[in-house]
Structure 1
Amino acid sequence: MTSTSLITFFLILALSLSTLPIPSFSELCNPQDKQVLLKLKNQLGNPTQLVSWDSSTDCCNPTWQGVTCDEYNKTYRIIILSLSDLNLPKLCPIPSSIGNLPFLQILEIRNIPNLVGPIPLAITNLTKLNYLYITHTNISSSIPEFISRIQTIVTINFSYNKLSGELPSSLSQLPNLVGISFNDNFLSGTIPESYGSFSNLFTSITLERNQLSGNIPATLAKLNLSFVDLSSNRFEGDASVFFGSEKNTQQIILAKNKLAFDLGKVELSSNLNTLDIRNNYIYGKLPEGLTALKYLHKLNVSYNNLCGEIPQGGNLQRFDVYSYQHNKCLCGSPLPSCKT
Structure 2
Amino acid sequence: MEMMMRRLRLAFVMVLMIMVVMHSASTVVEGCSASDREALLDFKASLNEPYLGIFSTWSGDDCCSNWYGINCDPTNHRVADINLRGESEDPIFLKAGRSGRMTGSISPSICKLDRLTTLIIADWKGISGEIPGCITSSLLSLRVLDLVGNRLSGHIPPSIGNLRKVTVLNLADNDLSGELPASIVQMSSLMHLDLRNNRISGQIPSDIGKLTMLSRVLLGRNQITGPIPNSIATIYRLADLDLSMNRISGSIPEQLGRMPVLSTINLDCNSIGGQIPASLLSNTGLGILNLSRNGMEGSIPDVFGPKTYFMALDLSYNSLKGKIPTTLLGANFIGHLDLSHNHLCGPIPIGEPFEHLEASSFDYNDCLCGNPLRTC
TM bucket (normalised to shorter chain) is 0.7 to 0.9
Q: Do the aligned residues in 2 keep the contact of 1:40 with 1:98 (CA within 8 Å)?
A: no
Deviation at 1:153, TM superposition (A): 0.2
The residue identity in structure 2 corresponding to 1:309 is: P
The residue identity in structure 1 corresponding to 2:229 is: P
The residue identity in structure 2 corresponding to 1:47 is: N
Secondary structure at the counterpart of residue 273 of structure 1:
strand
Secondary structure at the counterpart of residue 107 of structure 1:
strand
Out of 150, 153, 161, which is 2:198 matched to?
Answer: 161
Partner of 1:299: 337
Partner of 1:54: 58
Q: TM-score, normalised by structure 2?
A: 0.72
Is structure 2 residue 254 aligned with structure 1 residue 251? no
Partner of 2:145: 107
Taking the aligned partners of 2:319 and 2:63, their CA distance within structure 1 comes to: 56
Superposed CA deviations along residues 80-102 of structure 1, whole A, max 9, x for unmatched, are 3221233657x511012433333
Is structure 2 residue 196 aligned with structure 1 residue 192? no
Q: Do the aligned residues in 2 keep the contact of 1:39 with 1:97 (CA within 8 Å)?
A: no
**Which is worse superposed, 125-134 or 172-181?**
125-134
Matches for 1:2-21 after TM superposition, within 5 Å: none
Q: Do the aligned residues in 1 keep the contact of 2:178 with 2:200 (CA within 8 Å)?
A: yes
Alignment CA distance shift 1:92-1:241 (3 Å): farther
Deviation at 1:212, TM superposition (A): 1.2
Partner of 1:323: 361
Taking the aligned partners of 2:353 and 2:72, their CA distance within structure 1 comes to: 48
Matches for 1:167-246 after TM superposition, within 5 Å: 167-198=204-235, 200-224=236-260, 225-241=262-278, 243-246=280-283
Taking the aligned partners of 2:65 and 2:213, their CA distance within structure 1 comes to: 32
Q: TM-score, normalised by structure 1?
A: 0.79
Deviation at 1:228, TM superposition (A): 0.6
**Which is worse superposed, 98-107 or 176-185?**
98-107
Taking the aligned partners of 1:24 and 1:263, their CA distance within structure 2 comes to: 70
Q: Do the aligned residues in 2 keep the contact of 1:92 with 1:116 (CA within 8 Å)?
A: yes
Alignment CA distance shift 1:98-1:59 (3 Å): farther
Taking the aligned partners of 1:111 and 1:125, their CA distance within structure 2 comes to: 24
**Which is worse superposed, 56-65 or 126-135?**
56-65
Partner of 1:152: 189
Is structure 2 residue 118 aligned with structure 1 residue 80? yes
Q: Do the aligned residues in 1 keep the contact of 2:160 with 2:181 (CA within 8 Å)?
A: no
Out of 308, 311, 314, which is 2:349 matched to?
Answer: 311
The residue identity in structure 2 corresponding to 1:77 is: A
Partner of 1:131: 168
Partner of 1:290: 328
Q: Do the aligned residues in 2 keep the contact of 1:60 with 1:76 (CA within 8 Å)?
A: yes
Superposed CA deviations along residues 119-166 of structure 1, whole A, max 9, x for unmatched, are 114533332211111111111100111111110000101000011111
Deviation at 1:203, TM superposition (A): 2.1
Taking the aligned partners of 1:276 and 1:47, their CA distance within structure 2 comes to: 44
Deviation at 1:337, TM superposition (A): 1.8
Q: Do the aligned residues in 2 keep the contact of 1:279 with 1:302 (CA within 8 Å)?
A: yes
The residue identity in structure 2 corresponding to 1:112 is: N
Q: Do the aligned residues in 1 keep the contact of 2:143 with 2:166 (CA within 8 Å)?
A: yes
The residue identity in structure 2 corresponding to 1:54 is: W
Taking the aligned partners of 1:313 and 1:222, their CA distance within structure 2 comes to: 29
Alignment CA distance shift 1:218-1:251 (3 Å): same
Secondary structure at the counterpart of residue 259 of structure 1:
coil
Segments of structure 2 that go 5 or more residues without pairing to the other structure are 1-26, 82-116
Q: Do the aligned residues in 1 keep the contact of 2:36 with 2:79 (CA within 8 Å)?
A: no
Alignment CA distance shift 1:291-1:75 (3 Å): farther
Deviation at 1:63, TM superposition (A): 4.6
Is structure 2 residue 304 aligned with structure 1 residue 267? yes
Alignment CA distance shift 1:267-1:36 (3 Å): farther
Taking the aligned partners of 2:229 and 2:269, their CA distance within structure 1 comes to: 18
Q: Do the aligned residues in 2 keep the contact of 1:184 with 1:208 (CA within 8 Å)?
A: yes
Q: Note the aligned Cα RMSD (angstroms).
A: 3.1
Secondary structure at the counterpart of residue 274 of structure 1:
strand
Taking the aligned partners of 1:319 and 1:104, their CA distance within structure 2 comes to: 49
Deviation at 1:326, TM superposition (A): 1.0
Deviation at 1:36, TM superposition (A): 5.7
Q: Do the aligned residues in 2 keep the contact of 1:207 with 1:229 (CA within 8 Å)?
A: yes
Segments of structure 1 that go 5 or more residues without pairing to the other structure are 1-22
Alignment CA distance shift 1:208-1:61 (3 Å): farther
